[in-house]
Amino acid sequence: MAVKGSAMTKAQLVAALAEKTGLTKNDVKVFLEAYADIAYKEVKKSKKITLPGFGILKLSKRKARVGRNPATGETIKIPAKTAVKFTVAKACKDGVLVTK
């Protein structure tokens, strides 16, 4: 498992899932890579995908705007762009943010 205060690595996640499910580490790694690949392709194609238990990935268009260079204070134009946004599912929030 991850050391307290540090993020779990992919290898640690694969090992934990393999232990929990009884699958081989290689099977878990292949599954995770396929899951991510499918999610990325679906977001690109249909602009949105629900990841059950985690949340929703969706494309979002950001308008062009004016910003400031923090180093110089100079006003700059930030062009319009498409970004990926993630909205956390209620089940994930409830599972992580346990209140006592």
Per-residue model confidence as pLDDT tens digits over 33-61? 999 999 999 999 999 999 999 999 999 99
Residue 30 and residue 70 in one domain: no
Q: What is the pLDDT of residue 79?
A: 96
CB 13 within 8 A of CB 35: no
Residue 42 and residue 64 in one domain: no
Task: Please report, as a single letter, which amino acid is at residue 90.
Answer: K
Q: What is the pLDDT of residue 13?
A: 95
- Read off the pLDDT of residues 59-89 as tens digits, 9 standing for 90 and up: 999 999 999 999 999 999 999 999 999 999 9
Structural domain span for residue 11: 1-46
Residue 42 and residue 65 in one domain: no
* pLDDT interval class at 3 (50, 70, 90): low
Q: d(Cα 89, Cα 77) in Å, to the nearest integer?
A: 34
Q: What is the pLDDT of residue 6?
A: 86
Whether the predicted model's global pTM rises above the 0.85 cut: no
CB 87 within 8 A of CB 58: yes
23: pLDDT strictly greater than 60: yes
How many separate domains does the chain show? 2
> Residue 11 burial (CB < 10 Å; 0-12/13-18/19+)?
exposed
Residue 94 three-state SS: helix
Residue 40 and residue 10 in one domain: yes
Structure tokens at 78: 């930030």
Residue 38 and residue 78 in one domain: no
Residue 14 and residue 39 in one domain: yes
Q: d(Cα 39, Cα 19) in Å, to the nearest integer?
A: 24
Q: What is the pLDDT of residue 19?
A: 96
7: pLDDT strictly greater than 70: yes
Residue 54: inside a domain, yes or no? no
Structure tokens at 86: 């993630």
